[in-house]
Amino acid sequence: MSAVIKFEDYSWKYSRTKVPALHDVNLEIEEGAIVGVIGPNTSGKTTLAYSINGLIPNQYYGVRSGHVYVMGKEVKEYKQSELCQKVGLVFSDPEAQFTAMTVEDEVVFGMENLGLSIEEIKRRLEWVVPLTDIEPLMDKPPYEVSGGQKQRVALASVLAMQPPIMVLDEPTSMLDPVGRKRVFDVLGRLKQEYKSTIIVVEHSLEHLVPLSDHMVLVYNGQVLLADETTPFFEKMDFLMEHDVFPPGVMEFFFRLRLLGHYPDSLPLPKTLEEGTERLREMLAGGKDGR
């Protein structure tokens, strides 16, 4: 597959700061992939996301060097209105992007700005509303629903415009475990039903890891590691040295392997039950266990 996003020797330093938020970043993201971007707080993950959709440098002051290409074109060469049709951004705080008085108007707003016909808007609503499970919310003000519902509304609003690239900046950072799971359930359905490139900046790895095709580690403004998900987590020692702590099931099997009791690659179980089943197989001799 071709690279739909490409960073070349890219650096960005915000005004009135001494240290660059990102420096010497070289990264390619393939078309159609779901990519998890992880790393500790203030590592540069959000700056990376904003550099893709043009908020940097259009809305922030700073010093930029190198290049960021989206669909073969330098971000700086896009008009912002054109780039917004290529890259949809869901903020960590969904209220930051709300503009309408009802959820329905919020979802329709972006499509109207694209100049879509009434028939096309209706068709997309019939697709995105059940996909994101917001039917009961359509008449409510978006500011008055729960945190998880707000995130699904924000996701629906961006998804309805059907951008080829979607960037989600810590979409579950303000949610409880139930709300977090529901957002990732929607992303799981997107992976099956919608073929865009999806980049998820996230701290919660339990749901992100089994969903992602590729992972990227950002640390102190640098991309230290980028790979397909399975080989990425084979470097568990390196990740833990850089403040990345994998889901408990993966770490459990990693510790078993250090002790010589698990010879295979680390599993990427979607649930604790799947990890339990893998352990049963191992203990039964199916994984060469003793």
pLDDT tens figures, 65-115: 999 999 999 999 999 889 989 999 999 888 988 999 999 999 999 999 999
CATH number of the domain that 17 lies in?
Answer: 3.40.50.300
Please give the residue range of the domain that contains residue 210. Answer: 3-246
Predicted TM-score of the model (pTM)? 0.87
Asked which of 246, 262, 278 is the last residue of a domain, the reply is: 246
Beta strands in the chain (DSSP E): 3-14, 22-30, 34-38, 62-70, 73-74, 87-90, 165-169, 197-201, 214-219, 222-228
Q: Contact 152/117 with Cβ under 8 angstroms?
A: no
Number of domains in the chain: 2
Q: Do 55 and 172 share a domain, yes or no?
A: yes
In this structure, are 114 and 140 located in the same domain?
Answer: yes
Tell me, what's the pLDDT at 1?
57
Q: Render pLDDT for 233-274 as a digit per residue (tens, 0 to 9).
A: 888 889 989 998 887 777 777 888 777 777 777 766 555 566
